[in-house]
Structures are given as C-alpha cells and as structure tokens.
Structure 1
C-alpha cells in the first residue's frame, strides 16, 4: 500500500514538473528570444520549481554540497538521472552543458538549451564527434560560464559501470581551465527509467578542483577515481552499496 501511494505521489510530481516546464517556457519565451538572460532565468526558475515540489510532493529533499565554482571551469559530473542536471545547473551561476544532439528536438528544452549556450554533439562518432565538439566549444567561448560535461557520456544507474570518455580530457586541455569534479547519489532516488521516486536526501557534491595542465591519461584516471569513489560514498550514505 505504501509503495502504491508513493507511486501516485511520484506520478503527480512528474505531471507537475512537465506542466511547470511548459508554463515557464511560454511565459519567458519573448524574453528568451531577445536575450540569453531571459532563457537562463527561465531555466533557473524551473530548477527551483522542481526542487520545491519534489520535497513536499514526494518527500525527496535535495542538497548541493561543496564549493560551487563561479569562474570559468570545466565541470565534469557523474550523471544518474535528470535530477543531477537540475541540481548542478541551479547551483552554478552561468552553466552550459555538452548535450546530445537529439535533445535539440525536445520541445522547450532544446530551444532553451541553445539560448543558454549549450553545445550539442553527435554521440557514437568517436574522433569526428570529439573534434566537432572541441570546435563548437571554441566557437562559443565568447559566452563565459561553467562548461558542464558528463564524462561517461550518458546516464549510469547506481552500481553500473561505464568508461570515462576522452572528450572531457580534450576540453580540459583545449580550454586550459581547471576541472571541478561532481559526484552524486541522485539515481538511488530518481532512477534512469520509471515513475517511482523514493523519499530521502539526493545530493550532488562539488569536489576540490583539479588544476589545469595535467597530462591527459593522468587527468582522466584521477577524475574517474575521485568521482566514482565519492559517488559510491554518497550512495552508501543513502543506503545503496555498489557491488565490486
């Protein structure tokens, strides 16, 4: 019975989330067309709406830990669900994502993503996609902010494993910026698929930055070790223990 009640609460939350996206998208559209500032305010308002409704509708509280970067850095994050996108973007002042190109076709989401400076990339084309991504980031460098990339390239469920892709290291080298790793446990509560949202405390944690200038292989090894290690600790804090 308790599971059924929580499932219904989760469904109501999901409906309210997408309704909020629609309303905010329409209300802010005229401003977003003429100014990226309008688009960014719409996205920040949506993040706040989701966090607020998630707490009282589902019983899922959210926390952002660590020192949030305000300068121009590469933010290399663990990706478990849509919730980590919301928490990270809502925390940094001028975030812009490396995002899969298919999202451009998503109503409201795709259009607003372009307005705030997100960089669409083709997945699965390896070297060509990495070169195109690097060129597009360089072309958009005039729009300052925190460049957010998911180093595994996709959502990875708690306990699952996926390699860290070289694209993060390419951007780290090309931009000559520090990298801020981000760990999370949000997938324990908000899964990759399905409706059910589990009560608890979902966390994203900004970790100590990795200074610019590190050699590529060492950088990727350090990034993976730190993000995976801290994410496992956060998941254990939430009652989930990854298997070796």
Structure 2
C-alpha cells in the first residue's frame, strides 16, 4: 500500500513539474526573448520551486555541499537524473550546459538554452564535434559563467559504469580553466527512467578544484577517480551499496 501511494505521489509530481515548466515557459517567453536576464530568472524560479516541490510532494530532501563555484570555471559533474541538473543550476550564479543539439528543438527548453548560452553538441560527429565545441565554448565565455559538462555524456544509473569521454579533457586543455568536479547520489531517489520517486536526502557535492595545466590523460584519470569515488561514498551514506544490486 505504501509503495502504491508513493507511486501515485510520484506520478502527480511529474505532471505538476511539467505543467509548471510550460506555464513558466509561456509567461517568461517575451522577457526571455528580449533579455538573457529574463531566461535566467525563469529557469532559476523553475529550479528552485521544483526542488521544493520534490521535498513536500515525494519526500526528496536535497543538499548542495562544498564551495559553490562562482567564477569562470568548468564544472565536470556526475549525471544521474534531472535532479542534479536542477541542483547545480540553482546553486551556481550563471550556469551554461554542454547539451545535445536535438534538445534545441524541444519546446521552451531550446529557447531558454539558447538565451542562457548553452552550447549544443552533435554527438554523432566525434572529433569534429569536439573541435567545434571548444570553439563555441570559447565564444560563449565572452559572457562569464560556469560551464557544466557531463563527462560520461548521459545520465548514468547509480550502479552502472560508463566511460568518461575525451571531450571533457579537450575542453580542459583548450580553455585553460580550473575544473570543479561534482559528485552526486540523486539517482537513488530520482531515477533517470520510470515514475517512482523515493524519499531520502539527495546530494550534489562540489569537490576540490583541479587547476589548469595538467596533461589531458592525467586530468581525465584524476577527474574520474575523484568523481566516482565520492559519488560512491554519497550513495553509501544514503544506505545503498553502489557495488550491489539496485
């Protein structure tokens, strides 16, 4: 019975947050078209209110740990679900995401992503896509902000392991900027697929920054080791064994 009630609450929560996205998208569209500030304001409102609704509708409390990056940095984050996007976006002042190009055609998301300065990537062209990504990101940094990239390139379930893609290392070398790794356990409570949302404490943690100047391979090894190790620690803290069944 408790499981059925939680599933129903989760289903209603999903409906509410997508209706709320559409409402805000429509209301702020004129402001967003005229000003990046309008797009940023709408997205900040959406992130903050959705995080709050997750708490009281489905019991997902959330916490952001570690020093929040505020300058021109690259944030290389573990990506488990939509919730880690919301938590990072809400925490940092001026987020810009590396995103799949096809999302530009998604209602509301495409418009707001363009206005925020997000960088679309064609993942099917590999080397050419990475080279263009570096060029596009360099142009976007004329407007300072925090660039968020997901090194594994997609949402990854808590017990899955996917390789870290070379594009993060190329950006690190090409931009010559500090990289802030970010770990998370949010997929335990808000999974990448399915309807059920589980109560608990979802955490995103900003880790110690990696200074510019490392060679690409050493950087990628250190990034993966730190993010994966801390994400596993956060999952154990929540009472889950990342090496066991989920």
Question: Could you state the TM-score of these two structures normalised by the residue count of structure 2?
Answer: 0.97
Instruction: Report what 1:170 is aligned to.
Output: 170
Residue 138 of structure 1 deviates from its aligned partner by: 1.8
- Alignment of structure 1 residues 187-206 onto 2, 5 Å: 187-206=187-206
Q: Please identify, of 71-80 and 124-133, the stretch whose mean Cα deviation from structure 2 is larger.
A: 124-133
- Report the secondary structure of 2:156's partner residue: coil
SS in 2 for 1:158: coil
Q: Which runs of 5+ in 2 are unaligned?
A: none
Which structure 2 residues correspond to residues 59-138 of structure 1 after superposition, within 5 A?
59-138=59-138
Measure how far apart 1:173 and its partner are. Answer: 1.0
Rounded Cα–Cα distance in structure 2 between residues aligned with 1:84 and 1:102: 20
User: Structure 2 CA distance, aligned partners of 1:140 and 1:224?
Assistant: 26
Whether the aligned pair in 2 keeps the contact of 1:182 and 1:205 (CA below 8 Å) is yes
Determine the structure 2 residue equivalent to 1:31.
31
Q: For 2:20 and 2:172, locate their aligned partners in 1 and report how far apart those are by CA, in whole Å.
A: 35
In the alignment, structure 1 segments of 5+ residues that lack a partner are: none
Contact 1:76 1:151 in 2 (8 A): yes
Q: CA deviation at 1:124?
A: 3.1
RMSD of aligned Cα (Å): 0.9
Cα offset, 1:29, TM superposition: 1.1
Aligned residue-pair number: 244
Corresponding residue for residue 142 of structure 1: 142
The residue aligned with 2:12 is 12
What secondary structure, in the 3-state scheme, does the structure 2 residue paired with 1:182 have? strand
TM-score (norm 1): 0.98
Is 1:80–1:186's contact at 8 Å kept on the other side of the alignment?
A: yes
**Paired residue for 1:235?**
235
CA distance in 2 between partners of 1:110 and 1:11 (Å): 25
Counterpart-to-counterpart distance in 1, 2:46 and 2:78: 21
2:223: which partner in 1? Answer: 223
Aligned partner of residue 61 in structure 2, secondary structure: strand
Q: For the residues of structure 2 that align with 1:50 and 1:19, how far apart are their CA atoms?
A: 11
Q: Is the partner of 1:124 in helix, strand or coil? A: helix
In the TM superposition, what whole-angstrom CA distance separates every residue of 1:146-203 from its partner, at most 9, and x where no partner exists? 0000001011101101111111111111111100000000000111110000000100
**Aligned position for 2:42:** 42
In structure 1, the residue corresponding to 2:232 is in which secondary structure? helix
State the alpha-carbon separation in 2 of the partners of residues 148 and 62 from structure 1: 19
